[in-house]
Structure 1
């Protein structure tokens, strides 16, 4: 299957990697014993799972099946990829997340020149010149996610925060099976997000004549439906840009990637 992209570029963990997809890739998606260790690769790349640029793991965390968030016990940033390890000490589903806080950018023109300040709408009045024109403030946020289940999967770590672009996993990640339909739902600030554009891609792109990426769009209720054609690891990439009525921004630009595995049928 294919890779998902929407308005390009993930601004995750306070690092912008232009024209690259940022992903987190766990060494295992399903484990059968407690106290197993998980290793996670983090990279930004043009080709699916072909590591290209190491990304800081500073904002990488793991949510345990009881909902408690932890920093990884050890991590390393390399040139091509970064890596982190942690011990999984309980049964259930874990959420691996690379995400930084939302950032605000105010763009404006002054004397015919395009300028930018990192301030929100409430802050910009005191920061931008009095003669500024075409003033627009954008809220930008991104996340890279994956889920790992040990023995009996549960849903605590799947809970949404109703903030930014999120994915409601109607089909549990541990239940994704090749040749069987999957249904997920995009949400923006807790509400269904229509017209989210997505690319879905499958590992092995380096060894195929065509990338074989599948492009999807969420429906009026924010839902997407697809069927993984074969077992393996996939990455879904989505982004959304739209006008906002927020007191802090005129526009929102959100992006999200999810790495998951389709099991043997």
Structure 2
């Protein structure tokens, strides 16, 4: 009889345009599949070189949003930030799958004024671009940034309501539910770019615990014409998945990076 080991899941996707970053951003839940009708999950959140190891800076928690299984907004509780990591709790009171995400968008760019190139003010968006540009500005150059780091936690049976795409940036539309992954078996994920299949998207998957092994164990995949990838998990454990477009290498500021695919154990 074959023993099946479950890899509870989370996925991160990143769309960035700008300078390359050296560190990976990630969130790590204390559990990803739970039973009962009322439960709590504690999440560690950090930016680091070694996945799931605190050694650089904490992730800020003010931009983290919780989506409950029915699509309504939840909230984080007991948030605290230390030297190397942040931590917070999520109270699960509805059956189904929750999304815990750190999502941000922005606009980077520059313009010419009086013969000198100037940068757009920090925090400029498409909506505020016109007011951010001074009179007489010419040769305006901009690049949009959309940054998404997310994990998924399920109370009881998995549900799919939260996976409805927004049509902005890179998003994952799972074929295989991210909280129903099993080592040794193939899982399929579809990626969308601004709401359309992200054909040719480069996806990187790295097992956690790289600080204590000699090889990175990285898997590099390319999405097919439908934006889909298939991955067979080599072993139970934590996995970080990252997708990036826009000329930035793996690791931008999701802060910085990606996210875990989770604590594994017997189903």
TM-score (norm 1): 0.81
Match of 1:71 in 2: 75
Unaligned runs of 5+ in 2: 1-10
Unaligned runs of 5+ in 1: 243-252
Match of 1:172 in 2: 177
Shift of 1:260: 1.7
1:127 aligns with 2:130: no
Shift of 1:112: 7.5
Match of 1:27 in 2: 30
CA distance in 2, matches of 1:126, 1:237: 32
Q: 1:116 to 1:90 in 2, by over 3 A?
A: same
Shift of 1:65: 1.2
Runs of at least 4 residues off by over 6 Å: 4-11, 253-256
Residue deviations 1:109-145, cap 9 Å, x none? 5678653204456735971574744x32111010111
1:259 aligns with 2:260: yes
> RMSD of the TM alignment (CA)?
3.1
CA distance in 2, matches of 1:126, 1:54: 31
Match of 2:241 in 1: 236
Higher relative contact order (CA 8 A, sep 6+): 2
Shift of 1:179: 0.8
CA distance in 1, matches of 2:42, 2:17: 22
Q: In 1, are the aligned partners of 2:25 and 2:259 still within 8 Å (CA)?
A: no
Q: In 1, are the aligned partners of 2:13 and 2:241 still within 8 Å (CA)?
A: no
1:181 aligns with 2:182: no
Match of 1:55 in 2: 59
Residue deviations 1:135-173, cap 9 Å, x none? 321110101111111111111122222222101111001
Q: In 2, are the aligned partners of 1:178 and 1:263 still within 8 Å (CA)?
A: no
Shift of 1:38: 0.5
CA distance in 2, matches of 1:254, 1:184: 23
CA distance in 2, matches of 1:220, 1:203: 29
